[in-house]
Amino acid sequence: MADGLEFFVVDVFTDTPLEGNQLAVFTDARDLASDRMQRLALEMGYSETTFVLPAEEGGDARVRIFTPRYELPFAGHPVLGTAFVVGDALGRDAVRLETGLGVILVELEREDGGIAFGRMEQAIPAWRPYEREAELLAALGVKRSALPVEAYPNGPLHVYVALDSEEAVAALRPDLSALADLDDAAANCFAGSGRSWKTRMFAPSGGVPEDPATGSAAGPLAIHLARHGRIGFGEQIEIRQGAEIDRPSVLYARADGSEERIERVEVGGPAVVVARGEFRLP
């Protein structure tokens, strides 16, 4: 460990450095205990930090994902950003990453010799009405949702609130203390039409007051919109997020199938490696 613990910083869901969602990727975590991983995630201070380990289930690598406060079985931008780092190291155009929600396939597209875009096939989540809807709306400062308020577990428990306009989404000033009391739910507020949507995500209970780009929420959002007739199944949507915290991001998502049976969920976007460093720990 005295020789240095290597990490990369990746800006995910953007092709512009210093935008998108920041991610720290520790490339060799074999000698790290879980509590040390958690302390490093807190030290980095990003919405998530990942730790790469040898594969155990036939993938190319195993990935553990930590917010500043706890470990997640899956999260979207950490898996995509880690795939960029692992794919570059292995010289692959596709990598299979083992997560707490199973093996995630990430297909990588190259441009000018480097990886420029990735598409991940996500697990298909179940959904249910959110039982604390009134408390959630009050914490958000919102009177009503234009669609049913439903929860989709996909790593975090994502809950969706539809607003009437993108301006209403941008104007949100939620009570973060009240949100933190809502069963670790991640509140996703969105508006848009057709294939263009704007969203904001608040998860203060996980140490993330507002997330710049939420890949694990993008797939369920595509399902939610298709289930409620706002888009067609199989249509790819563009999701804009992060502008209010000066980290503009763009995500792409698609849900294939029908209301009776979701067949495939895909989320993609660009990413860029912006830094490399090492920790020297006793």
The enclosing domain of 114 has a CATH number of: 3.10.310.10
**pLDDT grade, residue 2 (50/70/90)?**
very low
Under 8 Å between Cβ of 10 and 215:
no
Q: Rounded CA gap, 185 and 132, in Å?
A: 10
**pLDDT grade, residue 98 (50/70/90)?**
very high
pLDDT reading at 55 higher than 60: yes
Mean pLDDT for the stretch of residues 57-83: 96
Under 8 Å between Cβ of 66 and 37:
yes
Count: domains in the chain: 2
Q: What is the pLDDT of residue 229?
A: 97
Residues 264, 134 within the same domain = yes
SS3 content of the chain, % helix, strand, coil (to 5): 20, 40, 35
The two tokens of residue 151 are 């929860």
Residues 115, 241 within the same domain = no
Reference 251, options 196, 202, 203; nearest CA is: 196
- Domain residues for the domain of 37 are 5-121+270-279
Q: Rounded CA gap, 279 and 186, in Å?
A: 31
Residues 25, 152 within the same domain = no
Is 266 an annotated catalytic residue?
A: no
Residues 133, 252 within the same domain = yes
Mean pLDDT for the stretch of residues 180-208: 94
Q: How high does pLDDT run on average in the chain?
A: 96
Distances in Å between the alpha carbon of 153 and those of 37, 130, 172, 261? 24, 11, 24, 17
Residues 117, 135 within the same domain = no
Residues 254, 154 within the same domain = yes
Amino acid at 108: L
Residues 86, 132 within the same domain = no
Q: What is the pLDDT of residue 113?
A: 84
**pLDDT grade, residue 3 (50/70/90)?**
low
Reference 163, options 151, 149, 153, 152; nearest CA is: 149
Residues 104, 227 within the same domain = no
Cut 0.85: pTM above it: yes
Residues 144, 232 within the same domain = yes
The two tokens of residue 121 are 């096939």
Q: What is the pLDDT of residue 272?
A: 97
pLDDT reading at 173 higher than 90: yes
**Percentage of the chain lying above the pLDDT 70 cut:** 99
Q: What is the pLDDT of residue 149?
A: 98
Q: Please, which residues bridge with residue 266 across strands?
A: 121, 254
Residues 41, 100 within the same domain = yes
Q: Rounded CA gap, 119 and 25, in Å?
A: 18
Neighbours of 279 (CB within 10 A): 13
Residues 214, 262 within the same domain = yes
Q: What is the pLDDT of residue 216?
A: 96
pLDDT reading at 184 higher than 90: no
Distances in Å between the alpha carbon of 112 and those of 67, 89, 90, 117, 238? 33, 17, 17, 12, 24
**Residue 263 host element (H or E):** strand 262-279
Under 8 Å between Cβ of 174 and 202:
yes
Mean pLDDT for the stretch of residues 235-254: 98
Residues 232, 262 within the same domain = yes
pLDDT reading at 121 higher than 80: yes
Reference 224, options 127, 108, 136; nearest CA is: 127
Write the pLDDT tens digit of every residue in 202-242.
999 888 999 999 999 999 999 999 999 999 999 999 999 99
Write the pLDDT tens digit of every residue in 24-38.
999 999 999 999 999
Q: How many CA atoms lie within 13 A of 142 on its CB side?
A: 29
Q: What is the pLDDT of residue 1?
A: 42
* Options 19, 48, 150, 266, the catalytic residue: 48
